[in-house]
Amino acid sequence: MSTTQNKQVVTAEGQPSIGISPAVTWGDLLFVSGQAAFDPETKSVIGDDVETQARVTLDKLDSLLEAAGTSREHVLKMECYLRDASDFQSWNAVFKDYYPEAPPSRSTVVAGQPLGDLLVEVAVIAGIPG
């Protein structure tokens, strides 16, 4: 973690920064930038269906949460961006696997993606237990 006054940049092993901070803490809050099933080393999307991409994305998210000293149980707000509305049911099924009880508040938006093969992107705000 690098520090600028109260702000700390969080990175997870194997997830290099690609020009933005993957996550930033401020006090006991963690703000995670949009995560996707993208491998920055190979510059390729991992998986060609929403279920695979959602699992890879949520696993990457778990790594960042852990690096910041928290976990998915402390995710307060999740924003999900889907390329196609027809993927909502599949995304929702994966979400329920990862958050079966006391899920975070959530928004799911259908939006274009910067890389054509990306089907899902997820950003969160999480608490960091003291």
Element (H, E) at 53: helix 50-67
Looking at residue 85, the DSSP 8-state letter turns out to be: G
Lowest-confidence range among 1-15, 31-45, 63-77, 91-105? 1-15
Domain map of the chain by residue range?
2-127
State the pLDDT at residue 41.
Answer: 79
Higher pLDDT, 111 or 54: 54
Residue 19 confidence (pLDDT) above 80: no
For 66-92, what is each residue's pLDDT tens digit?
A: 999 999 999 999 999 999 999 999 999
Angstrom CA distances, 68 to 45, 72, 121, stand at 25, 11, 20
Superfamily of segment(s) 2-127: RutC-like (3.30.1330.40)
**20-30 mean pLDDT:** 90
Instruction: Kindly report the length of the chain.
Output: 130
Name the amino acid, one letter, at 111. Answer: A
Q: Confidence band (pLDDT; 50, 70, 90) for 18?
A: low
For 60-72, what is each residue's pLDDT tens digit?
A: 999 999 999 999 9
